Structure 1
Amino acid sequence: MAGLAPRVEYLAGFCCPLGGLAAGKPRVLCHGAEIFLSTGSELVYVYDRDGRLLTAVYKFPGRVWHLELLALGRALYVLCARSGIYCLSLDQASRNDRDDQDGEAGEPPAPVIPVDPGACVLPDATLCAFTVLDNVLVALAQGPAQWKLQLFERPCPGQDPRPGGQIGEVELSTCTPPSGSLGEPAAPCFLPVLCCASPPGPGVPHGHVQGSGGVTLEEALFGLLFGADASLLESPVILCGLPDGQLCCVVLKTLVTSRSAPGDPKALVKILHHLEEPVIFIGAVRTEPLAEATGDAHSDCLVALGHHGRTLAIKASWDEVGHLVPELREYCLPGPLLCAACGEGGRLYHSTPSDLCVAHLAQGGLPALLCPASLSVCSVVTLSAQPSGPAPRAHLSS
């Protein structure tokens, strides 16, 4: 059994934001050998895992709440608290940094590079979450009484990164923003979660998949969850996990055409489930083995986790009369959960303040119980799982 113990490799240490990690919104994002990390302060670190060194530190005008990398064009999108979304060209930033250091001696290997406020491509103090696809940017704004899902055109690589006009908007469930001092809205305890789910086929938004890892679902599960319209349109779907526990979805192509079509805009929103606690993670895993002639391994099980441990898993299965139906099961994992990630082989990693655990959604029907195994690592506050050869590797920040 000793050979099965997880190997923990500590790569580097980083400063906590004021108030500790609990006060921030830590994020880690892996792409190839690069690790992009935010501890919840104004800083975003870029770490080279192969060279085992810090290659850049970017200082943004506000606390970082979320970041995504669009691999095509190496554009880093960053959401800053009560400020908006910034877009940073990593190639251009690294060239400028090298030019600034030419002829200078004694400079640290990774100086702090301030990000110009002009890099804010979508200024909006109400934004709480976003995700980026090939040609659109999806943002979730907190209104006085409603969450608003907004869709913007995203320019092609090489053009001005500022989004074009807004091409769609729909209101989600009601929300009550926490009040701060002098009537200003306080930072939310829990941020909403967005995840792009795509059907298999040529319409998959490749830029997003290569960047921040949206999910591609098997055709049967995709159709059962989101309906015939989404399948026929081959449209990506935005899954929204809200702090009140609601899990809902919006078909992107119907949102784009909604402005020119009559009808109730709220009909565009489908409520999939309600966890009755803040949703902290949405992802998908592959549980069934692939046939030898099969190509890409699309996920066959959608999962959503709540802060207090309530977990939802949905698969496509056959009922007694041979009809394809969604199989839905709820579990209760030990909480509170800080973060989670999906790995290969149906693995679901999740962390509490005292331990990092892994649960297995094995092949066949969904298990009656989830029995997580301890990995004997504590204080993991953000997590990214990345495959490495025959076994999955989890890159952690704690």
Structure 2
Amino acid sequence: MAGAAPRVRYLAGFCCPLGGLAAGKPRVLYHEAEVFLSTGSELVYVYDQEGGLLTAAFRFPDQVWHLELLAPRRLLYALCARRGLYCLSLDHPGRSRSTSRDDRDSEDGDQPSPVIPVDPDACILPDAALCAFTVLDSVLVTLVQGPARWKMQLFEQPCPGEDPRPGGQIGEVELSTYTPPAGVPGKPAAPHFLPVLCCVSPSGSRVPCDLLGDPGGFTLEDALFGLLFGADATLLQSPVVLCGLPDGQLCCVILKALVTSRSAPGDPNALVKILHHLEEPVIFIGALKTEPQAAEAAENFLPDEDVHSDCLVALGHHGRMLAIKASWDESGKLVPELREYCLPGPCALRCLWRGWPRVPQHPF
């Protein structure tokens, strides 16, 4: 326990914001012996969890809104405000380049860490309107802020070992309308809340959506998956993108159906399904297992690819929580059961920080 106190002070020195504003939301990812931490500034810190040291800090050209890790390819993706999407290789992170010192990285006399400016060439998708993204092994999903609507776009991911820049666009669909925030004419203003994207797959799917340390990619039991997303998603064994919008809408899009919609007649916007409306900004989407046999794994927050979640959870900015589970009605028919809860602020923030939605007592 003697060695625990310095580490607590060390992480506390990052001054992570406690508010629910997505633009300043802290993000913690880990890969092997390294921890990557973003506090909502332009810096992404690299922390050695074995040695207990801050080894580097990557400086982006603007505030980092979101961070994701594609562990199988050892790639770190960062969404930079009003700049676009950046990609850094963990095998060649550029730490041999010249570094500068920043007094803000020193806390209580600790040695300052090297600050590494991110090369402009690391921007793989320049787009000032890009507000959210999630990445799979073969598909990059982005959400951009249009003149009056959110627009979801799909891009091909290059093969491993190739240039990480995404290939051609393979799908596009418009989501909910919104009122654009006031800003400079001709330049999109930063939204007060950012959308939330995550990918969910059926239990029988082997689609690689492993974002190590990130609960954004998960699998659902087939019964719940089919009830929520329909027969098309089940038959196609397709991943589904869940999107939580600042206006409170929780909607979904079947990836394979969106890809094939370009060559099929009909309106691709019909592929968007609204699951629920939280009536407050959605700031987190996750899943959990409520059955007793998975209680130990859930208690320790350990991901287990063989334990598929049976409850979908969405959390709003003010603490409203939605839990969806498959249950039998009085006639013996399997139906989705939706329950809403209101969590106090500190409890909701604890759930977000740990990266796993928990209720003190399971609602089911």
Q: Shared fold (TM-score greater than 0.5)? A: yes
- Out of 140, 163, 167, which is 2:170 matched to? 167
Query: Structure 1 residues 121-130 or 335-344, which shifts more?
Result: 335-344
Q: Do the aligned partners of 1:348 and 1:361 also contact (CA within 8 Å) in 2? A: no
Q: Secondary structure at the match of 1:360?
A: coil
Deviation at 1:263, TM superposition (A): 1.0
Q: Residue type of the partner of 1:260?
A: S
Distance 1:12 1:181, change over 3 A: same
Q: Secondary structure at the match of 1:243?
A: coil
Q: Residue type of the partner of 1:307?
A: H
Corresponding position of 1:65: 65
Deviation at 1:70, TM superposition (A): 0.5
Q: Do the aligned partners of 1:192 and 1:243 also contact (CA within 8 Å) in 2? A: yes
For 1:136-285, what aligned pairs fall within 5 Å after superposition? 136-181=139-184, 184-206=187-209, 208-210=210-212, 212-213=214-215, 214-285=217-288
For 1:370-381, what aligned pairs fall within 5 Å after superposition? none
Matched residue pairs, number? 334
Distance 1:361 1:163, change over 3 A: farther
Superposed CA offset, 1:159-198 (max 9, x none)? 0110000000000000122112466433221110011111
CA–CA distance in structure 2, aligned partners of residues 295 and 89 of structure 1: 25
For 1:47-62, what aligned pairs fall within 5 Å after superposition? 47-62=47-62
CA–CA distance in structure 1, aligned partners of residues 205 and 34 of structure 2: 27
Deviation at 1:290, TM superposition (A): 3.4
CA–CA distance in structure 2, aligned partners of residues 295 and 33 of structure 1: 21
Name stretches of at least 5 consecutive residues in structure 2 with no aligned partner.
1-6, 100-110, 295-303
Query: Structure 1 residues 109-118 or 225-234, which shifts more?
Result: 109-118
Q: Secondary structure at the match of 2:324?
A: strand
Corresponding position of 2:86: 86
Tell whether 2:28 aligns with 1:28.
Answer: yes
Distance 1:295 1:39, change over 3 A: closer
Deviation at 1:212, TM superposition (A): 3.1
Distance 1:17 1:209, change over 3 A: closer
- Out of 302, 311, 316, which is 2:312 matched to? 302
- Out of 268, 288, 313, which is 2:323 matched to? 313
| Identical-residue share of aligned pairs (%) | 71
For 1:290-369, what aligned pairs fall within 5 Å after superposition? 290=293, 296-335=306-345, 338=349, 340-341=351-352, 348-349=357-358, 359-362=359-362, 366-367=363-364
Q: Residue type of the partner of 1:68?
A: E
CA–CA distance in structure 2, aligned partners of residues 272 and 235 of structure 1: 18
Deviation at 1:247, TM superposition (A): 0.2
Distance 1:231 1:266, change over 3 A: same
Corresponding position of 1:131: 134
Superposed CA offset, 1:361-398 (max 9, x none)? 52xxx35xxxxxxxxxxxxxxxxxxxxxxxxxxxxxxx
Alpha-carbon RMSD: 2.7
Q: Secondary structure at the match of 1:348?
A: coil
